[in-house]
């Protein structure tokens, strides 16, 4: 559902005029979910993954790689909520797979005493639930990602310097290449 909850003040997820960006990110997620619904590979059609292991199919799985620190909480928590509510299994991955990734701390409170880019209450609630989820608390490592075991990829963004780890990672680049160019699976990228 596309719903602009901030219509009266035309303010986006961060409390600044970003309604079109928030709607654009939501549209990206909705399109990726729609594509996932039409591109599911049947188990009989794909028997082995890229590493030669048998593939187990169940619920549709979406991979969300994250840096250890610095992702934008709204670009991860809102899609996580939407995907899990729709019955998708979300798997998070960090560089080493040690413990949960941490969002950009300044994005929770905003800049300039909360006057700029302050997170909205719904996004804060989503983030609070997500950080307690087993999928975020026990991520897999980027190196262990086998793209054939997933049905879609979500690449969130962020402003924190910690994002460099994720943006410059050869493993994250490999994952994206496998999803897009080898397996032709849906990829959603969110960045405002």
User: Torsions phi, psi of 177, nearest 5?
Assistant: -60, -45
Higher pLDDT, 62 or 53: 62
Asked if the model's pLDDT at residue 54 lies above 90, the reply is: no
Q: What pLDDT is attached to residue 177?
A: 96
Q: What pLDDT is attached to residue 28?
A: 52
**Tokens matching residue 48:** 């082995």
Predicted confidence band of residue 10 (pLDDT cuts 50, 70, 90): very low
Which residues make beta-bridge pairs with 71?
103
Distance of CA 33 to the CA centre of its chain: 12
The span from the CA of 119 to the CA of 10, in Å, is 15
Which residues make beta-bridge pairs with 153?
63, 187
Read off the pLDDT of residues 154-163 as tens digits, 9 standing for 90 and up.
999 888 888 8
**How many other CB atoms are there within 10 angstroms of residue 31's CB atom?**
12
pTM of the model: 0.71
Asked if the model's pLDDT at residue 53 lies above 70, the reply is: no
Asked if the model's pLDDT at residue 6 lies above 70, the reply is: no
Read off the pLDDT of residues 56-104 as tens digits, 9 standing for 90 and up.
545 799 999 999 999 999 899 999 999 998 889 999 999 999 989 998 8
Tell me which residue of 64, 73, 63 sits closest to 160, measured CA to CA.
73
Average pLDDT of the segment spanning 5-21: 36
Higher pLDDT, 47 or 176: 176
Tell me which residue of 89, 69, 70, 98 sits closest to 154, measured CA to CA.
89
The span from the CA of 134 to the CA of 171, in Å, is 23
pLDDT mean across residues, the chain: 76
Which of 30-34, 35-39, 182-186 has the weakest average pLDDT?
Answer: 35-39
The span from the CA of 140 to the CA of 149, in Å, is 13
Say if residues 166 and 65 touch (Cβ distance below 8 Å): yes
């Amino acid at each position: 559902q596309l719903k602009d909850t901030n219509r009266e003040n035309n303010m986006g997820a961060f409390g600044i005029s970003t309604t079109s960006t928030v709607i654009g990110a939501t549209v990206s997620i909705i399109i990726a979910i729609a594509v996932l619904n039409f591109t599911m590979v049947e188990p009989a059609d794909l028997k082995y993954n890229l590493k030669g292991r048998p593939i187990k199919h169940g619920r549709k799985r979406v991979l969300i790689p994250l840096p250890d620190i610095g992702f934008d909480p709204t670009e991860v928590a809102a899609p996580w909520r939407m995907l899990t509510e729709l019955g998708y299994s979300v798997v998070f991955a960090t560089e080493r797979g040690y413990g949960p990734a941490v969002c950009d701390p300044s994005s929770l409170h905003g800049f300039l005493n909360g006057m700029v880019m302050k997170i909205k209450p719904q996004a804060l609630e989503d983030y609070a639930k997500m950080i307690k989820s087993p999928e975020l608390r026990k991520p897999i490592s980027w190196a262990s990602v086998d793209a054939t075991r997933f049905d879609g990829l979500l690449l969130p963004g962020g402003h924190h310097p910690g994002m460099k780890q994720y943006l410059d990672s050869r493993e994250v680049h490999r994952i994206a290449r496998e999803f897009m160019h080898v397996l032709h699976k849906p990829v959603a990228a969110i960045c405002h």
